[in-house]
A and B are shown apart, each in its own frame.
Chain A
C-alpha cells in the first residue's frame, strides 16, 4: 500500500436521475481518505458544481484543504481519460466512487488495455469481479456455485423457447418485452394459455421477451456490505423498502433498519450477503438487494452493486458509518481492524452500527415539470432527489419526511386548504403514482381497511399501514378536541401529536388555530423536542459525535448548546432547479465560518450531500428546513445568526418568517430580500431607479388575463408570483394556449395571482452573479446564454466571459447592478438576470441569494464567491481588485438532462426548467469549451462520412473522440421560415463536412433551394422514406429539430422525432442558437484543439 503515490479518481459527471449528488459525497470522502495518506489525487469530473472539483484555495495546499491535487473538468469518456492518464501517469485508479459512469469508463479503460499499458493498478474491487456483478448470466452462475438463489430470468425470441423458459421457472411468470419503451407489454401471466396470448402481442413489436420469475409482492431488502482484502466482512446497515418488489428502490420509501424482519430473517440474509460478497471477492463497499417472500421467508438475490451507490450514501447517513471513506481506505490496502470508527474515535471500524432511532428515506419527484410525463412509478427510477428523516417512532419519521420533500405537504394528514387529497385513491394505490402515500392517507381517512390497502398495494406490509392509521386516528382526535370557543389543547393530546410527528402547522390546521399560537401553547406546556446524537453504537460507548436529530420521543438532550455558533441552512432535497450547486455553496459557507472561528451548525435533510457529512460542520442537524424546526434549533443553540443565502430558495423563503420571530439573519436584511422577491415592490423599485423591465400585470381571473394579454401582445409569459425554477411558467402564443395554461397554473397555485408579462423574442439573456457588502458591489461575474431568452437559465448553455455582448452592454449591466445592490443594501451573494435586445437591457429577476451558477463563476474566475460573500456577511472587509472579465480562456456550462428517464416528456428547451444537473469545461476558444462541455453532458459527435484525413490527423481525431469511421447521417427538421433562414450559413458549413444530410419536407425544399444537397424524408407514417423509419433503423448520428414555435408546443411529428431521439439515444439539438453555435464550433475545430488541461493550468 505504500507504493502508491498518485491515484486517478473518476467522478460521475452531471447530476441525472439515478446518479445524483450522492457521488459528490462519495468522491469527496475518497479524496479525504487518500489525502490523509499523503497520496496525490487526480480527479476527472466535469461537474463543476460539486465539492470534489474544488481546488486548494490560494496560499493553501491540497492536503490541508482535503481537496484533489489536480482537477480535470473533462468529459468522462475514453479519449479524454486516456489523455489524462498519459499526462499524469497515475499509479492507480479508483472506479467505485463515481457511480455507473465511472465504473463503465473504468471497464472500458481496462478492456482497451489502457490500464495495463500505462501500468495503472485498479484499487479496491478487481475489474473481473465488477464484470461478474454487471453481467447477469455470469452473476447467476457465480452465485449458483455457492447455492445462493437468484431471480431466474431467460430471454426468448420465439414462442416455444418462451414456453420452455416459463415451465422451467414455474408459473406465474413475469413477461418483459425486450427493447420496449416504458415497460410496454410487461405483465404477469399465470398459465401457458395466457402466455401464448400475450406473446403474440409482444412479438408484434419486440424481437425478444424476457421471462422472469414473478417476485411482485415480495419484500425488498438491502444490505450494505464492507469487506477488506483479508476477508474481514461486515454488514453496515440493512434497509427495508416499504414499497415491495416491483417498485425501484430509488422510487420506494425505505426504512433503516428493517422493521418487519425477525431476527432469523435479518441474520439469514446478512449471512448470505457476507457469504456472497466473500465469494465474489469485493474489496471495499457494495450493496446487495434481496427479494424476501412475506409468507414463506424464501429469498432471491436481485443484484449486487460492487461500488458506492445511492443506497450506500443513504446507509452512510443513516448509520453515521462513513462508508465511502472506509471503502477508499480499504481500496488502499488497509484492513478493517486497522481503521478506527471515526464517530467514537476510540472503537474500531470493524463493527456493525447499532441504531437507536429509525430512518426513513422518501423520494422526491418532479414530474409535474414535464408535460406528458407519466406519473406512474414502477421498475424504473424517475425521482430526482430524496430526503431522510430521523426519529424514534415510525409515525414521526414518516411525517417529517413528507414535510422535508418541500412539495407543500404538511405531513401525512392535515394539509392546508384540503390539499393532497386523491380522488381515485384506490386506483392510485393499485397502480402506484408519485402520490401513492397521499392515496393511502385518503383511503385510511375514508375507512378502507389496512388489509385491503395492503392487498391493493401489492404487498405493503400491514405493519407500516397500521402505523399510518395511528396518525390518522390522532388527527381525528385533535379535530374532535376542537371545541367551540376553545383553541387550546390538553397537554397530553398535544404531546401525543408531537410524538406522532405532527408539526405545529398541522395541529393548527386541525384545531383551526395558527402556527404561532400552537407554538406559544407548546412552550406554555413545556413541550419541547429533545436533541439526540447518532453515535453508531446506540449509546454503548461515549462518542463525541456532532451528528444530531430532533425528536419528541425522548426526555433528555444528549448535548448542551454551542458557545459561539452560526447556523447554515441547507438546500433540502435535490429537485429540478435546486441541485448540488447549492450544497456546494453551503459547504463553502461552512468552511469560511469555521475559518473565522465560529462553531458551524448545518441543518439539512438531504442524504445525497457533502454538507451532511458529519465532519463538514461542528454540528450537523439532519432535520427539516421548516420555520418550526429552525426556530427549535436556533433557540436551543442560542446561535449568533443564520445564513439563509447559500441553500437556494427553501432557506431564502424562511428569511422573513425567521426574522419576524427574532432570528438574526446574516447578510442582506430580510425586508430587502423580500423587496426583491415581491414582484410589486421590486417592479416599483426598478421604476424608481429607472431600470427597464418587461411589461407585466398581475391578474386574478381568466377573463382579465385574456384582455391583458391581448393588450400587451402575444407571445406572453404566464407565471405565478412566487416561482421556484420556472415551476408553472409557460409561454402563450395566443388566447387558446393562454387559457389552457391558466387552468393549470391556477390549479397549481390558488393563493397567488397569475402574472402575465411580455415575452420578448429573439433577445439574449445575460446574468450577473456577484457579492456585495453593505450595498457596495464587491465582485461580480457576467455570463451570457447561448440560447435566446426563453430557455430557462438552468437549461441554458452559459458562457464566461461573454462572447457576443458589447462592452457597452456589459458596462450598462454593471451600472444597473450597482444601483440595485445599493438600493437593496445587499450584503452577501446575489444574482441578477437581464434580457438584452439590440443593446437594450431589461431586468427580469433579482435573487438576493447565491444562485445555481455560483460554483461555475467561482471556479471559472478563480475567486470563491461564497467565501467572499460569507466574509461580507460576517462584516469583514472584502474589498479587493477582482479581475473576472479578462480571462485567457473560455468556460462553458451545459445543462445535463434526464429525458431518457422521464418517459413521454418532450425534450425541448422551455421557460420551465427541465435539466437535472450541469457540467462545465474550459477551453482556449469558445468552440473548444463548447464542444467539450457538450460531450461532458453526454452528447456524441456525429461521424463524418468519407472524410479524407492524413493518417496522423485521423489518429489524433480519434483520440479526442471524433470518430473516423465514415457513416454519418444527420437529420434536420426546422420549423418556421425564420429558423431556416437564420441557420442557413451554419447548414452550408455542415454541408461542407461530408455528412449525409436528411431533412423533413419543407426543410429539404429550403435546403435544396439554397444549394444544399439533402435527402427528403416524409412525415411519420407517410410515404417512404419517412422520418420514423429513418430514425428507427438507427441510421442517424445527430438530429437537429427546431420546433416552429420556440418555447411553445408544435405539431405532434416534431414531438415524436424528439422523443424517439431520446429513447434511441441519438444526440439531439432542439434550440436554434445552440445548433448554430455547435455547427460553427464543430466545423472549425481541429482535433488537437480539444485539450485535456487541468483547472489550475487554466486559472
Chain B
C-alpha cells in the first residue's frame, strides 16, 4: 500500500487498516500519545493523519466511551511502526481491528519524519492512499483524483443532526457542535449545568440559554456561513461566549475579523501559548490548520494568547464582554490538561 502526495512523492508501506483507497489532506501530528482521541476527533475529518511518533498501537483501543466521537473521523492514518500486539487493561481491540471495522485505511513502515518534514517545507498537501495491488495495471493518478476536503462543508458532515440535551442544572449552556470533541462536553458537565448541544447551523436564538460555546471542528471556517450569521445575532446580547479552536475562528469572523490558512498548521501536544495579560506560558494541545489574523481584529477585541514559537494568535477576547476564545484545546484529550481552568473561568463568568 502506498501514499501518493499531490506533488508525486510516493511513500510505501504495509497496510494495517481497511483495504480501501482514500483521498484527503495530509497533515502531521507530533503527539506521542493519543491516537484514539485524535482519530475520533471530528476536526480531522477529511484528513490523512501522519503520526511523527513512530511506535503506534501499543495500548490498543478502548471501548466507545473513551472516544472523542462515535467513530474514526480521519480519512486515513500513516505511521512508522505499528504495533500489532497491544497491552492495556482498557483495550478491547487492536488499532488495526478498529481501523478495519471503520473502513479506514492505514499504512505502517513509512519514514514519517521524512514525510512530516516534506509537509513542513511544502505545506500541507493533498494525498491519496492507494489500495490497488502493486502489480495490477495502474493508471497514474491525475490531479483531479486528489480531492480537497476543504472545498466541502466538513462541518456539516460531522456535526450532529438535531439538538441533544445533557444534565439538568439551573444554568444552560448551548454548545454549537461544529464537530465537537466529546471531552468538551465532559469538561463542562457539572451538577448545576444543563447543556444543549445543537447542530452547526441551528438557530439557537430561540433556545433559552445563559452562555454559548462554539466548538472545534474541521476545515475552513469560511465554510460555516450559517454559524457566523447566528453568532453575529448572538453577539447582540452580552451572554458569555467561549470559542474553542474552529470556534475561535468563527467568533473572529463574526466579530469582523479574518482568518488565514497556516502553512502546515499546528497539530501537536506541546504548543506553548502565552497569556498576554499574565505572561504565563501554557503547554497546549492543538489541531488546527487555520488561524485568526491579529491585525484584522476589531478595536474592541484583544489577543488573549499568542503562540510562543511562531507568534500566531492562540486566543482572543472581547475587551469588555465575557466573550473569549482559544485556538488550542483546553479539553485536552489528547494532550496536556494545563488550560482546563478556562472551562472553570467560563462557568464562573456565567454566574457573574
Contacts and interface: CB of A to CB of B under 8 A. Distances in A.
A358 B113 CA distance: 13
Given A259-B58, A262-B59, A538-B52, A354 B308 contact: no
B30 A351 contact: no
A234 B283 CA distance: 7
Contacts of B241: none
A351 B270 contact: yes
Nearest to B121: A542
Contacts of A553: 54, 80-81, 111
A351 B58 contact: no
Task: Indicate the member of B37, B59, B90 with the most A CB atoms within 10 Å.
Answer: B59
Contact of B36 (A263, A268, A335, A355): A263
B283 A263 contact: no
A539 B111 CA distance: 12
Contacts of A268: 337
B228 interface: no
Given A266-B33, A538-B113, A352 B58 contact: no
B149 interface: no
Interface in A452-484: 461-463, 466-467
Given A261-B33, A540-B268, A555-B114, A356 B336 contact: no
For chain B, what secondary structure do more than half of its interface residues adopt (helix, strand, loop), or is it mixed?
loop
A814 to B, nearest CB: 56
A263 B114 contact: no
A539 B333 contact: no
Contacts of B36: 262-263
Contacts of A232: 280-281
Interface in B281-336: 281, 283, 308-309, 332-336
A463 B87 contact: yes
Contacts of B120: 539-542
Interface string A346-379: 1110111111111000000000000000000000
Contacts of B87: 260, 461-463, 466
Output the residue of B83, B113, B338 with the most chain A CB within 10 A.
B113
Interface in B47-68: 52-55, 58-59, 62, 66
Contacts of A354: 30-32, 52-53, 268-270
Interface in B178-206: none
A297 B62 CA distance: 14
Nearest to A463: B87
A243 B89 CA distance: 18
A573 interface: no
B59 to A, nearest CB: 5
Interface residues of B, number: 52
B172 interface: no
A537 B30 contact: yes
A485 B34 CA distance: 50
A348 B58 contact: no
Contacts of B280: 230-232
Interface in A528-548: 530, 532, 537-542
A393 interface: yes
Contacts of A348: 272, 281, 308-309
A356 B116 contact: yes
Nearest to B91: A262
B122 interface: no
A540 to B, nearest CB: 5
B139 interface: no
A417 to B, nearest CB: 32
B114 A556 contact: yes
B114 A463 contact: no
A270 interface: yes
Contacts of B283: 234-235, 350-352
A425 interface: no
Nearest to B90: A262
A259 B55 contact: yes
A539 B33 CA distance: 17
B262 to A, nearest CB: 12
A530 B80 CA distance: 14
A347 B116 CA distance: 18
Interface string B259-272: 00000000011111
Nearest to A541: B309
B279 interface: yes
Contact of B53 (A294, A356, A467): A356
Contacts of A297: 89
B54 A392 contact: yes
A230 B32 contact: no
B233 interface: no
Contact of A351 (B80, B86, B308): B308
A538 B336 contact: no
A274 interface: yes
A336 interface: yes
B309 A347 contact: yes
Most chain B CB within 10 A, of A234, A267, A553, is at A267
A271 interface: yes
A352 to B, nearest CB: 4
Contacts of B101: none
Interface in A614-670: none
A336 B282 CA distance: 11
A901 B281 CA distance: 43
Interface in B70-108: 80-81, 83, 85-90
Given A294-B89, A348-B281, A392 B336 contact: no
Interface string A730-767: 00000000000000000000000000000000000000
User: Looking at A234, A257, A530, which has the most chain B CB atoms within 10 Å of its CB?
Assistant: A234
Contacts of B81: 392-394, 553
- Output the residue of B34, B36, B271, B309 with the most chain A CB within 10 A: B309
Interface in A858-906: none
B175 interface: no
A57 to B, nearest CB: 38
A261 B52 CA distance: 18
Nearest to A256: B32
Contact of A532 (B58, B85, B89, B113): B113
A267 B335 contact: yes
B274 interface: yes
Nearest to B12: A555
Contact of B37 (A263, A295, A541): A263
B54 to A, nearest CB: 4
A292 B169 CA distance: 36
Contacts of A260: 58-59, 87-88
Contacts of A234: 283
A463 B86 contact: yes
A337 interface: yes
Interface centre among B80, B81, B332 (most CB of A within 10 A): B81
A356 to B, nearest CB: 4
Contacts of B272: 337, 348, 350-351
Interface string A197-240: 00000000000000000000000000000000011101100000
Contact of B30 (A337, A467, A539): A539
A1084 interface: no
B111 A555 contact: yes
A554 interface: yes
A261 B59 CA distance: 7
19 contacts: A263-B36, A263-B334, A267-B336, A271-B338, A336-B281, A348-B272, A350-B281, A350-B308, A351-B283, A354-B32, A355-B53, A393-B81, A463-B83, A539-B52, A539-B117, A540-B52, A541-B120, A553-B111, A558-B113
Given A267-B336, A356-B53, A463-B85, 13 more contacts: A230-B279, A259-B58, A260-B58, A264-B333, A267-B334, A295-B89, A297-B89, A354-B32, A393-B55, A463-B86, A466-B87, A538-B116, A539-B30
The 5 A-B residue pairs with the shortest CB-CB distance in the complex, in nearest-first order: A263-B34, A466-B85, A538-B30, A556-B114, A463-B87
Interface of A: 230-232, 234-235, 257-264, 266-268, 270-271, 274, 294-297, 335-337, 346-348, 350-358, 392-394, 461-463, 466-467, 530, 532, 537-542, 553-556, 558
